[in-house]
Structure formats: C-alpha cells, structure tokens
Structure 1
C-alpha cells in the first residue's frame, strides 16, 4: 500500500508560491528587461492569478526588489561553490580574478544591473535597492578577502586591490554588455592579472612590458 506524501502546510505552500513568483520575475528581467517585467507578464509566466501575485507582492516595486534579493542570493551561493574549487599556491590570485570575471558576466549580475540602472530615475525603486546594493557589495568584498588567503590576507594592500579588481571588472563587463565583445575586455583582464602579481611583489615590474601585452586595438 502506497502511503500518500504528507500535505504541505500553509506556510510551505506560501513559500513555494513566493519562490515560483520570484523565479519567473528574475527570468523575465533577464529576458525582457526592467520595462517589460510587469506584474501581468510575471503572473502569465508563472501561471498564477494576478491576485495571487499581488497578495505576495502588493506593488511592482516590491516584486522587483524581492526578485533582486532572490537573484543576489543565488549569485552568492554560486560564487561560494566556485570559490571552494580554487587552486592554492601562486596561481590562486589569478584564479580569483578569473572567478570574479565570470561572476560579473553572469545572468545574475546583468539582471541586477538592469534594476540598478532603472533605479537612477525611479526614486522609490532606488530607495528600496540601496540596502540590497550595500549588502551584496559588502558580502562580495568580504568573500574576496577571505579567498585571497595567505600570504596575501595580512597584506595591508589586499583590501584596496580587491576594490580595484571589482571596480575594473565591473566597468569592463558593462562595456562588454553594450558592445557584445568580450575578447578585447578579456585582454584587459589578463593585463590586470599580470599587474597584480607585480603589485604583490611576486613578479618584477618588467612583466608589464612583455610583448604579448600590446595595446588594445581600436
């Protein structure tokens, strides 16, 4: 005799519905962008009544901010899993840059970026996103510093180099998003990886003058 599975509690059903809504909202943001991610579009994709979506998220702004939090949490989880596979030793620093570059070219990053851009002219959205933006940047920087490990962890320059790395790669990712060209940007990433080895004293400054580090073509 087959025993039927236990019925889910009301709280479990509510959590499952909320997760379904957020997943479809994040997918819609990635595929269609901020302007076309409406409550109607989300409820149609999720196969739910409009009232069900609005019961969980009374306004579009609340829905989009919650979706951003959802995406950030997924991004942090994926980043943590990837960080556990990083090599040790001299190659670790460059591997961290490669991991950062993959993260900043991921669907999760571009989904969040679309909302941040929209928030520039949407005061309500901007106010709600500020706290989430602080959380993700604080957590990402802390994780980078933790990943660096010895002998770099105690280097007083480590925090500044992490900041430079994230800012540089974020800018490169944004320009690549517009141009669709990753090749030229990846060349800059390779230059920065070489520069880091010089800055932490693991390579002579002449490393930056190698022939393969030619200027980026116009």
Structure 2
C-alpha cells in the first residue's frame, strides 16, 4: 500500500522556492562572478520563470544581498569540514596557517572579493556585506583559536598571531591573484610559518631565515 506524503503548505513551498533561488544565486556567484550573476542567469539555473524569481526578489540587488549570506555560510561550512580533517600529530599553529591559506584561495573567498569591489559603489550592498564580513571574521577567529588548542590557547600571543596570519594571507591572496605564481605564494607561506615558530618561541630568532622544514611537534 502506497502511503501518500502530506501536501506541503503554501508557506513550505514558498520557503523551498526561495531556498532554491538563493542556492542557485550563490552557485552562480561562485562559478561565474558578480557581473555574470544576473536575474536571467539565476532563473535559468533554477528552472523557474523570471516572474517567480522576481516575486521573491524584485531587484537584482535584493537577490544578491540575500545570496551574500548564503555565500558566507558556504565558506564557514567548508572551513569547518577542513578543520575536522586536520591530521593528528601536527603543530596546531602551523595547521591554522594551512587552513587559512586554503580558505583564502577558495571560490567562496574570491566571490567575497567580487562582492567587495561591487559594494564600493553600491551602498545597499555595502551595508549588508559589512555585516556579513564581520560575522565571518568573528566566526573564523573563533574557529582558528579552537583549532589551535593547547598549549597555544592559553598563550596570550596566540590570538594576536592568528590575527596577523589572517591579515597577511588575505593580502597575499589578493595581490598574488594577479601578480604572483603559486611557487612564490607558497614560499611566503612557508616563511610565515617559520616566523610564527620564532614568535611563539619554538625556534630561536637566528633560525628565522633558515629555509629547511620546521621540526614536527605533536599537538
């Protein structure tokens, strides 16, 4: 005997359609960028009539503002998954550098860059984006410090070094996106890892310029 599923309410159908539109908008932003994420592109990807999309989001700006939250959530979800896969036995401060570097070279981060540029001349988008960027940075800092664990978590220097890591790698990702090769970027990341080991006291300062691998330290 076939059991009939209860019919969805109008509110449930509306919520499902809205979620589909936002997911398709986020995917379009990630794959094609801000300029190519038009209402028509989203409508085609979602398989919906243009009027349906505009019923939920009357303007492109409203659609992109709402999708910004989804892009931020995707970035946080990806970071959490990456953090769960960290191998045991590695120095956790060094692992945070690897995590941050992967995040700051992800499609979600480059989508954020696209939105930042667009927000320069769009006050409504800028207001929403500032709010979402504060949220993602606060959550990232919390997750970074959680990943670091002891003995670093109780070290007052750890939070400052995490901040430095985020700032340095963000700038590196933005500039190297146009001008740097992968090898050059990775060399900077390696040098920063060694600098962190010196700043936290794992290595003496005279080893700052040593290009050899860092000694393994169990977490």
* C-alpha spacing 1:211/1:97, structure 2 compared with 1 (3 Å): closer
| Structure 1 Cα separation of the partners of residues 63 and 17 of structure 2 | 13
Q: Offset at 1:197?
A: 0.9
CA displacement at 1:13 relative to structure 2? 2.1
**Aligned in 2, Cα 1:183/1:10: closer, same or farther, shift over 3 Å?**
farther
2:205 aligned residue: 205
Structure 1 residue 14, shift from structure 2 partner: 2.1
**Residue aligning to 1:92:** 92
Equivalent position SS for 1:64:
helix
**Residue number in structure 2 paired with 1:163:** 163
Q: Which residue of 1 aligns with 2:140?
A: 140
Q: 1:173 corresponds to which residue?
A: 173
Matches within 5 A, 1:74-113: 74-88=74-88, 91-113=91-113
Aligned pair count reads 213
- Which deviations, in whole Å up to 9, do the C-alpha atoms of 1:54-101 show, x marking residues without a partner? 222222122112111101111111211221232455522111110111
Structure 1 residue 211, shift from structure 2 partner: 4.5
CA 1:24–1:192 in 2, change beyond 3 Å: closer, same or farther? same
What TM-score results when the alignment is normalised by the length of structure 2? 0.89
Q: Return the alpha-carbon distance in structure 2 between the equivalents of residues 211 and 75 of structure 1.
A: 32
Residue matched to 2:63:
63
Distance between the aligned counterparts of 1:207 and 1:110, measured in 2?
34
Do the aligned residues in 2 keep the contact of 1:26 with 1:111 (CA within 8 Å)? no
Q: Which SS does the other structure have where 1:209 is aligned?
A: coil
Q: Following the alignment from structure 2 to structure 1, what is the Cα–Cα distance between the partners of residues 200 and 89?
A: 14
3-state SS in 1 of match to 2:201: coil
Give the CA RMSD over aligned residues: 1.9
Structure of greater relative contact order (alpha carbons < 8 Å, 6+ residues apart): 2
> Structure 1-normalised TM-score?
0.89
User: Which stretch of structure 1 is more off in the superposition, 6-15 or 169-178?
Assistant: 6-15
Deviation at 1:190, TM superposition (A): 0.8
| Contact 1:86–1:96 (8 Å) recurs in 2 | no
Q: Where in structure 1 are there 5+ consecutive unaligned residues?
A: 214-218
The 8 Å contact of residues 38 and 60 in structure 1, kept in 2 or not, is answered as yes
Quote how far apart the aligned CAs of 1:192 are.
0.6
C-alpha distance in 2 between matches for 1:49 and 1:111 = 26
Structure 2 unaligned spans of 5+: 214-219
